[in-house]
Structure 1
Amino acid sequence: MAALGEALAPFFGQCWPYDSVLGHVLRLLTRSAGDAAAAVRVAALLPAASMRNVAAQLAASQRTPVLRSLLAGELPTELGACLLHEMILRRKSVAGVADAWAPRLAGHPLGALPLHPLPGETRMPLAGFGHGTESAGFPFGPSRVDPITVAGTVPEVVREPAPAELTAAVTTWLTQSNGRAEAAVYTVSAALDAETVGVRTVEALGLDCLAGGGLALRRASLDEVVAILFFAAAYGGAYDHGLGGAHGRAAAWRSLTALADGSHVGCAWWTFDAANDWFHRVAWDLGVLCLRQGGHVMAVLAATDSD
């Protein structure tokens, strides 16, 4: 099986039947403890971006001692970096190998991420891998929590330029699928607190994504927001496959950090969508609102995608 994978790997991306067989070979190898090293040898022959899914499958299927032994060996930097963060997402210990990898990650896109779980990462929707299947819990769609009905304060606001990092979590929706997004930052004249934010408060922002009404606004925890942003980044929208778990983790925190202006401490969070023409209302609809510490700034990310 490993020999077949090594023979097919140089042709990756050139012939879809070869890719299909190679994918099946890697699924089999990553699921068997005795074949984990063989899976790594095959993955090392693939383009760096294609190593991400192999890292996820290994982290999901293998026991921690096997994974730690892989990281202690010779791995391509991209494969090792993704494997480290896939393990962290799954609460598998990287003690003893994280310190050795830290210098190799300097300058890597995942290098800025801490090599330990972060606050807010308790409800991450992680993919499970079967024979030919991949699935993760979908955090979008109708919520079981009733929307907020309180009107709230109607503030005077000034719309400020939104940092590009705000949309990091939905990059593949915009570049590889049919998605669209709205990112906005508002300065509020009089400080708000979580209890004074309601439907009219959000409607007063004049967001394009809320034109036509139909707003459904809900309070959210940091864990819920991180899970939504992670899912959007890791698994993508209607027609793309996302960034994978490791790079999805990085993109989610880039968006969240931009929403919170550096630190989520003291921030209040809401999620929303709307029954209007902006949201496609197929499956891929998200809206996140952050009231930053101090109550003088609100930041928003909304996105939608359709098949």
Structure 2
Amino acid sequence: MEDIQDGSDQDDFARGDFVRGEAERRAAAGDFGYLRELGERLADGYEEASARARTYGEQRAHVVRVLALTPGRESLTELMRLVDGKRSASDSRGLASFLAEHQSTDDLAAAVFGRPGVGATDELGPCLFHELLLRGADVAGIPRPRSSHTLAWLPRRLRDFEAGAEFPRRSVSGSSYGLGTGMPAEGRVDPPVPRTADRSALRNSATREVHEAIVAAPESGDWGNADAWVFQLDEALDPERVPALLPTLPMPCTDVGTTARFEVARTPLGDVWRPLFASASMGGIYGGGVGGAYGRMWAWRSMAGLAGAAPGADAEEVERLARATTWFRFEADSGWFHNEIGSDYGIAALSPDHRRLAVLAATDTD
């Protein structure tokens, strides 16, 4: 058997026709030891090349970060030359978030939206438009997303309930995050203790499509677990009865017994939209989120599912239903929740006709 020597020509290994031909020739000759050594050398080369690629990727990302977070038109111009020249140089969603945080609207209008050769497939522009909108910037001179783009479904004006959205704070040297998912301080309507031990006879009627819509925000942000339920009520339910009903519903997130902590607050729409947006845009412990633009998109989708909007409903219809819905936030000391600040939230939505109760529970656990 002829061993593969350390000085073997690496160019030969890089040629697929050489490896395939040599492997077949050696197999036919019964030289299986050579094949094993060949496989070992290729595996070593793959690991080395992968490590080098990761290093290049990390260093490239840092260069993009420095350019994006350094305010000024000159840095923006060079960044756009890099991004346009090397399409693999950045993720458009993450880059849009960086730029909206650190660059002026005037400089962005000139260097990003006004650069030559921007095509119909450009993803940076639509993401950046919504990142700026969410931050309250004046977008009068910023091009709207084209009608065929996914983000064109979203309203082109910021709604009042979207005010106060939280964003990560980034610098060249690091980042900090603060997820606003804690229970609101006002509107508390906790059911009295001890609560009834009887479980409700209601059953979950959520279809797969509705379930996917409701959990869209936390799942897009890679939260540890999210689940959704929809209960069709036999008769109209007074909103005052929702806090007592919630702990009895057949859901693992509310299985807490009769005396454990179960907190409920009747909340305005903004106190529902913000945790949805935060969990999607900034993500969970092990995920970086989808950024502000798509975070807005998935927050609206979850809101639509909770409010009972029909599939394919436009943003205007979703908003109409959401404003007419009665919203609740809840937390509980059940085994399903993680029970750490910023790692759990529950949302319940009573439909305008008071005959449908939808629930979303999310926890950022392993």
- CA radius of gyration, larger in: 2
Deviation at 1:188, TM superposition (A): 1.5
What percent of counterpart residues are identical? Answer: 30
**Contact persistence 1:186–1:299 (CA under 8 A):** yes
Q: Which residue of 1 aligns with 2:114?
A: 72
Aligned counterpart, 1:300: 359
Q: Normalised by the size of structure 2, how large is the TM-score?
A: 0.71
* Structure 1 position 194, deviation (Å): 2.8
Stretches of structure 1 that go unaligned for 5 or more consecutive residues are 1-10
Higher alpha-carbon deviation: 86-95 or 189-198: 189-198
Match of 2:54 in 1: 16
Question: Quick check: which one's strand share is greater?
Answer: 1
Q: Which residue of 1 aligns with 2:75?
A: 35
Q: What is the aligned counterpart of 2:322 among 248, 255, 264?
A: 264
Distance 1:61 1:190 in 2: 52
Tell me the distance in 2 between the aligned counterparts of 1:170 and 1:86: 19
Q: Which amino acid in structure 2 is aligned with residue 80 of structure 1?
A: G
Q: Secondary structure at the match of 1:77?
A: coil
Whole-Å separation in 1 of the counterparts to 2:322 and 2:283:
24
Correspondence for 1:114 among 140, 151, 155: 155
How far off its partner does 1:35 sit? Answer: 0.9
**8 Å CA contact retained: 1:123, 1:224:** no
Task: Give secondary structure in 2 for the equivalent of 1:270.
Answer: strand
| 2:265–2:330 Cα contact (<8 Å) kept | yes
What amino acid is the match of 1:289? Answer: A
Does structure 1 retain, via aligned residues, the 8 Å contact 2:213–2:305?
yes
1:168 corresponds to which of 216, 239, 252: 216
User: Secondary structure at 2:214's aligned position in 1?
Assistant: helix
Matching residue's letter, 1:32: P
Is the 1:125–1:138 Cα contact (8 Å) retained in structure 2? yes
Counterpart position of 1:84 = 129
Q: 1:233 offset after TM fit, Å?
A: 0.5
Q: Distance in 2 between matches of 1:18 and 1:210?
A: 47
Equivalent of 2:248, from 176, 179, 204?
204
Letter in 2 for 1:167: V
For residues 65-112 of structure 1, the C-alpha deviation after alignment (integer angstroms, 9 at most, x for no partner) is 1122221334462111111111111111222333xx44x341x22121
Query: C-alpha distance in 2, partners of 1:56/1:14?
Result: 28
Identify the residue that residue 5 of structure 1 maps to in structure 2: none
Gaps of 5+ in 2: 1-48, 310-320
Deviation per residue, 1:216-255 (Å, 9 max, x gap): 2122221111110001101111211111111111011000
Residue 344 of structure 2 is matched in structure 1 by: 285
The question of 1:94 aligning with 2:133 is answered no
- In the alignment, the residues of structure 2 paired with residue 119 and residue 194 of structure 1 have an alpha-carbon distance, to the nearest angstrom, of 23
| Cα distance in 1 between the residues matched to 2:170 and 2:156 | 24
Instruction: Tell me if 1:230 matches 2:230.
Output: no
Q: For 1:300 and 1:114, locate their aligned partners in 2 and report how far apart those are by CA, in whole Å.
A: 25
Q: Calculate the aligned-residue CA RMSD, in Å.
A: 2.8
> How many residues were matched structurally?
289
Q: 1:48 to 1:80 in 2, by over 3 A?
A: farther
Deviation, structure 1 residue 156: 6.4
1:251 and 1:142, CA in 2 relative to 1: closer, same or farther beyond 3 A?
closer
Structure 1 residues 43-52 or 128-137, which shifts more? 43-52
> Structure 1 residues 146 and 256 mapped into 2: Cα distance closer, same or farther (>3 Å)?
closer
How far 1:143 sits from its partner (Å)?
A: 5.4
Measured after TM superposition, the shift of residue 158 of structure 1 is 4.3
